[in-house]
Amino acid sequence: MFKYWSIKRYGTKLLPILERNFGCKEYYNASEIRTTIFKNNFSTKYLPLGYILFLDDLSLKETMYIEFPQIEICQYRKEITDYLESKSYHGYLQVLSQQA
């Protein structure tokens, strides 16, 4: 249950907070995402999800290589997408399945 709500929070709350703090952008940088997640008490366990949602592809690969070298981006995206589908989630996080 906590996993679902933590992930859902990334999909519903992270973007509005990023926009409020850093303006409306297509992509944000890793430090903006990281700062927002830590300052607003998001579950840091899903920090890679924040990166996947709001970093451009090149920054995502570089950041994940440095901070989470053990995580395969495509596999992580698929795991989150599969989990959300099993919960019948229909929100912003559906963008994950469109990115794959």
Residue given tokens 């395969």 in the structure block: 72
* Count of structural domains within the chain: 1
Q: Are 20 and 43 in contact (CB under 8 A)?
A: no
- The average pLDDT across 1-16 equals 84
- The average pLDDT across 80-99 equals 71
- Per-residue CA distances from 3 to 28, 37, 41, 69, 74 (Å): 24, 16, 14, 22, 20
Q: Are 54 and 18 in contact (CB under 8 A)?
A: yes
Number of other residues whose CB lies within 10 A of the CB of residue 11: 19
Tokens of 55: 């970093």
Confidence of residue 40 (pLDDT cuts 50, 70, 90): very high
Average pLDDT value over all residues in the chain: 88
pTM: 0.83
Q: Provide the domain limits for residue 25.
A: 2-99
